[in-house]
Amino acid sequence: MFEAMASPPQRNVLGLPIEPCSTQPMTGFFRTGCCETDQQDLGRHVVCAQMTQEFLEFSATRGNDLSTPRPGFAGLRPGDRWCLCAARWKEAFDADVAPPVILASTHESAVQIVDRQVLLAHALDSQSLN
């Protein structure tokens, strides 16, 4: 009989087990509340960010309207936390509209797309660094 092997917890940019980003609304590629990823997640939804009006408007202009409710999705509002594609967050950073990030909930692989120092500088939870 084979025993199922539990996969190790995914890690955040601080090197610790990843913490939930949001369950209200439920986020994450797998809709677990965490910004977890694997090879199925082609968009790399790994940056936990707190939405701002500026970012939501920016995202809509790029073809990803996160504000408008749709069946099964209530739409996001400023203050909501959401797992963003790392490339979209970087695009917003380059346009000076990047929303703040939650380091404890941002997957370690985000640094493959966004410089770690940039993420640290945009952290809401910078106390996590102490």
Could you tell me the domains of the chain? 45-129 (3.30.56.110)
Tens digit of pLDDT for each residue in 11-22? 999 999 999 999
- Mean per-residue pLDDT, 28-42: 95
9 pLDDT above the threshold of 90: no
Q: Cβ distance 89 to 47 under 8 Å?
A: yes
Q: Cβ distance 28 to 90 under 8 Å?
A: no
Q: What is the rounded CA–CA span in Å between residue 128 and residue 96?
A: 24
Neighbouring residues of 66: CB distance < 8 A, sequence distance ≥ 6: 51, 56, 59, 60, 75, 76, 82
Q: What is the rounded CA–CA span in Å between residue 73 and residue 106?
A: 22
Identify the helix (H) or strand (E) that includes residue 120. Answer: helix 116-121
Tens digit of pLDDT for each residue in 118-130? 999 999 987 666 5
**pTM to 2 decimal places:** 0.91
Mean pLDDT, the chain, whole residue set? 92
